[in-house]
Amino acid sequence: MNSKNWFLLLFCLASLKLHAFTLVVSDIDDTIKTTHIAGSLMTKPQILANAVLTKNKFAGMSELYSQILLQNTDAQIIYLSAAPKYIASNLYSKFLRESNFPMPSNLVLKHILDDTFFYKTSYIQKWINEFKPSKLILVGDNGQKDEQIYKFIQDENKHLEIYSFIRVAYPLNRDFFNYRESNFQYFVSPLSIAEFLLNKEVLKAAETTSYVLDQLHKTNNISRQNVWSEQVFPFWMKCTNFNEDLRALSYYYPAHFAEIQKAETIINNRCQD
């Protein structure tokens, strides 16, 4: 290869590196905030109370997001919630700030009459077209429509490197078996996400998992019944049911066996039911 071709190749590689961009789109309720949004009618007063709280985050998530941005100077995070804008705008901004999630970041909330599926898929597709990310990280939960939404985005953007993470915030149902083959990573703690992103070299520092695990152990000292504080796993789920889900995840995601064992140990140490 002559010098001219070498220069052209190096220029192209530099251009690709320069334009590499990682976009993180994260849900809020039941993904990073313990809201219990998909609870029954009897729990609606508690759901409204949870929405007002600003310290009720899932342990380790703010630390994980901070590490993603710290180790990827090209990365940007957008919080995309189906919470009504006129109710949640100030409350959720305060939650992100007081729970130490990366700021400044974009917070997008929907109008109360918007269809959640159309609202979320439209925004995500708009950002893909606008920002042209080289990697897209989607983080949600199995409480409402995130699985359907992220599956749609994957199908519409097969050219794009997409990593979709679904928190097990509610008992596994048929959606788990429908979507577990769709390049989804179901998770019970941010350790799963950290280990996966380390393998994909989105995260570069091997100590990231230890850092996140430390946060989980610190939170383990807080009472599970204190719904106003950080939680390791959803306070509304029975421990026995949650451990059954962990065993299902161990079977279908053997690569995460070690992380799931760590999570199960933490859960068993603080569960009474």
240 or 203, which is more confident? 203
Cα–Cα dist 61/141, whole Å = 13
Per residue in 246-263, pLDDT (tens digit) is: 777 777 777 767 767 776
Give residue 172's pLDDT: 79
Instruction: Give me the residues paired with residue 186 across strands.
Output: 166
| Contact of 124 with 153, CB cutoff 8 Å | yes
Residues 29-38, mean pLDDT to the nearest whole number: 89
User: Residue 76 burial by CB count (10 A; 0-12/13-18/19+): exposed, middle or buried?
Assistant: middle
**Which residues are CB-neighbours of 59 under 8 A, at least 6 positions away?**
189, 190, 215, 216, 218, 219, 230, 231, 232
Residues 35-41, mean pLDDT to the nearest whole number: 71
Query: Rounded to whole angstroms, what are the CA distances from 172 to 113, 152, 180, 270?
Result: 29, 20, 11, 22
Question: Domains in the chain, ordered, with CATH?
Answer: 21-270 (3.40.50.1000)
Per residue in 128-178, pLDDT (tens digit) is: 999 999 999 999 999 889 999 999 999 999 999 999 999 988 887 766 666
Cα–Cα dist 1/5, whole Å = 6
- The first and second tokens of residue 271, run together, are 């569960």
The CA-based angle 30-32-263, given to 5 degrees, is: 90
Mean pLDDT, the chain, as a whole number? Answer: 79
Cα–Cα dist 153/129, whole Å = 12
Give residue 101's pLDDT: 94
Percent of the chain beyond pLDDT 70? 73
Cα–Cα dist 121/236, whole Å = 28
Is the pLDDT at 5 greater than 60, yes or no?
no
From edge to edge, which strands make up the β-sheet containing 135-141?
106-110, 76-84, 22-26, 135-141, 161-167, 184-187
Cα–Cα dist 81/108, whole Å = 6
Which one, of 44, 87, 62, lies nearest residue 236 by Cα? 44
Provide the b/e sequence for 106-138 (b: ≥16 CB within 10 Å).
ebbbbeeeeeeeebbbeebeebbeeeebebbbb
User: Residue 235 burial by CB count (10 A; 0-12/13-18/19+): exposed, middle or buried?
Assistant: middle
Give residue 182's pLDDT: 65
Give residue 122's pLDDT: 96
Least confident of 16-25, 56-65, 221-230: 221-230
- The first and second tokens of residue 251, run together, are 């079977």
Is the pLDDT at 9 greater than 50, yes or no?
no
Give residue 13's pLDDT: 39
227 or 268, which is more confident? 268
